[in-house]
Amino acid sequence: METKRLNEEELNTAVAILKADGLVAFPTETVYGLGANALSEKAVKRVFAVKGRPTDNPLIVHITGFNQVKTYVDNIHPLAEQLTEKYWPGPLTLVCQTKKDAFPAVVSAGLSTVSFRMPNNDKTLALLNASGLPLVGPSANTSGKPSPTSSEHVYHDLNGKIEGILEDGSTAIGVESTVLDISDPNQPPMILRPGAITKEQLEQDLGIEIAVDKHLIKESEAPKSPGMKYKHYSPDTRVMMIRENDWEKAIAAARQQALKVGVMAGPTIVNQVQQNVTTVFTYADDSVEAATKGLFAGLRALDETNPKLDVIYVATFPEKDLGVAYMNRLKKAADQQYFE
Ligand code: TXA
Ligand code: MG
């Protein structure tokens, strides 16, 4: 199958594909999503097949606002409307108790909850509005690979397997949305996956304490968000996390073993180390925002060098605010390995 690379003027083509149970990848502010009609079991099953995604990992349904939540959800959480007013469109996914048979069971892997998000991207909001369909949208990568932050990444993984890609530039945030469980109206919200809407921000805006799924603190606990248990975001090349004060030692160790090393870090660290490594991927600046935006693109780029690298060294950040989401994804890519 030919994968059509569609621009804004070709929105009608994208809509027609979706209505015929086809798949169209779409841009969002976090990562690109793999879109399909959430009401069509056939289309949703193809999403799982094309990604090679385990069928026990539920999908997020992309919608255009709180009105749609009201259509699909039973027992709406008292904070739901406030959360959507404050953060939608934006990188916050809400896990809700859905009405029976609102969606085919495959969407939520048989769970009684479904997660919803209104993405902050004009082209994708236009697509949602023009199609009038709720769209599932897992990250548009092959399962297990770093999530796609550009349409080239989507094309690389899914060319020939999906009907279309609605094209846009690189995504602004670079990691997937915060997943917040509000399925029990009698319980406070709980973060199942950290993202750009942070615990600190939610607590400040809502004036309540936000719980965090235990497994995010202690990796051995079983996650409530099924997708979090899989080894994720990993390139084929070994990835190692380097703490701020360990760069010199880490580079010396690699030189001693004659390893081909790639480095991912902000300009300050890159300037210190680049004479002594094979290649670098420099984040736009030294901030955690720039690192988060560049993380998946960097992992993909350094995984594809010719000749292959032996190891990718990646800068760590303090685990607060956006640093929680950055480190969550990086630890999975590195299989928890720090240079010690
Ligand atoms: O930013 C994002 O969220 C992107 C863009 C494309 O919107 N989408 C995304 O989808 O990251 P995906 O499928 O790669 O990740 C969805 C995550 C998984 O960890 C999944 O287990 C969790 O959300 N999830 C979905 N529905 C759930 C539910 N009903 N209960 C618990 N976790 C759920
Ligand atoms: Mg994903």
What are the tens digits of pLDDT across the range 324-334? Answer: 999 999 999 99
Whether residue 194 is found in the same domain as residue 260: no
Answer yes or no: is pLDDT of 274 > 70. yes
Answer yes or no: is pLDDT of 229 > 80. no
| Ligand 1 mean position, distance from CA 48 (Å) | 13
Whether residue 244 is found in the same domain as residue 165: no
CATH number of the domain that 19 lies in? 3.90.870.10
Question: What is the average pLDDT across 127-145?
Answer: 96
- Tell me which of 212, 230, 259 is where a domain ends: 212
pLDDT band for position 136 (cuts 50, 70, 90): very high
Number of compact structural domains in the chain: 2
30 CB under 6 A from ligand 1?
A: yes
Answer yes or no: is pLDDT of 232 > 70. no
Nearest CA to ligand 1 atom 20: 227
- Per-residue confidence (pLDDT) for residue 230, from 0 to 100: 56
Whether residue 201 is found in the same domain as residue 250: no
pLDDT in tens, 138-191: 999 999 899 999 999 999 999 999 999 999 999 999 999 999 999 999 999 999
115 CB under 6 A from ligand 1?
A: yes
Whether residue 261 is found in the same domain as residue 194: no
Instruction: Look at residue 218 and tell me if it is in a domain.
Output: no
- Per-residue confidence (pLDDT) for residue 228, from 0 to 100: 63
Question: What is the average pLDDT across 232-253?
Answer: 93
90 CB under 6 A from ligand 1?
A: no
| Ligand 2 mean position, distance from CA 276 (Å) | 34
Whether residue 204 is found in the same domain as residue 289: no
To test the ligand 1 pocket, which listed residue (56, 61, 120, 139) has its Cβ within 8 A of the most ligand atoms? 139
To test the ligand 1 pocket, which listed residue (179, 182, 183) has its Cβ within 8 A of the most ligand atoms? 179
Whether residue 153 is found in the same domain as residue 284: no
| Ligand 1 mean position, distance from CA 53 (Å) | 12
For residue 96, the enclosing domain spans: 4-212
To test the ligand 1 pocket, which listed residue (30, 63, 93, 212) has its Cβ within 8 A of the most ligand atoms? 93
Please, what is the average pLDDT of the chain? 95
CATH number of the domain that 289 lies in? 3.40.50.11030
Instruction: Look at residue 340 and tell me if it is in a domain.
Output: no
Whether residue 180 is found in the same domain as residue 243: no
3-state SS string for the chain:
CCCEEECHHHHHHHHHHHHCCCCEEECCCCCCEEEEECCCHHHHHHHHHHHCCCCCCCCEEECCCHHHHHHHECCCCCCHHHHHHHHCCCCEEEEEEECCCCCCHHHHCCCCEEEEECCCCHHHHHHHHHHCCCEECCECCCCCCCCCCCHHHHHHHHCCCCCEEECCCCCCCCCCCEEEECCCCCCCCEEEECCCCCHHHHHHHHCCCCEECHHHHCCCCCCCCHHHHCCCCCCCCEEEEECHHHHHHHHHHHHHCCCCEEEEECHHHHHHHHHHCCEEEECCCCCHHHHHHHHHHHHHHHHCCCCCCCEEEEECCCCCCHHHHHHHHHHHHCCCCECC
Instruction: Look at residue 149 and tell me if it is in a domain.
Output: yes
Question: What is the average pLDDT across 5-23?
Answer: 98
pLDDT in tens, 190-214: 999 999 999 999 999 999 999 999 8
Whether residue 131 is found in the same domain as residue 198: yes
To test the ligand 1 pocket, which listed residue (116, 176, 224, 228) has its Cβ within 8 A of the most ligand atoms? 176
Whether residue 200 is found in the same domain as residue 278: no
151 CB under 6 A from ligand 1?
A: no
- Per-residue confidence (pLDDT) for residue 217, from 0 to 100: 72
- Per-residue confidence (pLDDT) for residue 215, from 0 to 100: 80
pLDDT in tens, 279-324: 999 999 999 999 999 999 999 999 999 999 999 999 999 999 999 9
124 CB under 6 A from ligand 1?
A: no
Instruction: Look at residue 222 and tell me if it is in a domain.
Output: no
Whether residue 207 is found in the same domain as residue 248: no
Comparing 223-227, 276-280, 323-327, which segment has the lowest mean pLDDT?
223-227
| Ligand 1 mean position, distance from CA 136 (Å) | 10
Instruction: Look at residue 227 and tell me if it is in a domain.
Output: no
Instruction: Look at residue 60 and tell me if it is in a domain.
Output: yes
Answer yes or no: is pLDDT of 218 > 70. no
Whether residue 63 is found in the same domain as residue 18: yes
Instruction: Look at residue 263 and tell me if it is in a domain.
Output: yes
pLDDT in tens, 48-76: 999 999 999 999 999 999 999 999 999 99
Instruction: Look at residue 232 and tell me if it is in a domain.
Output: no
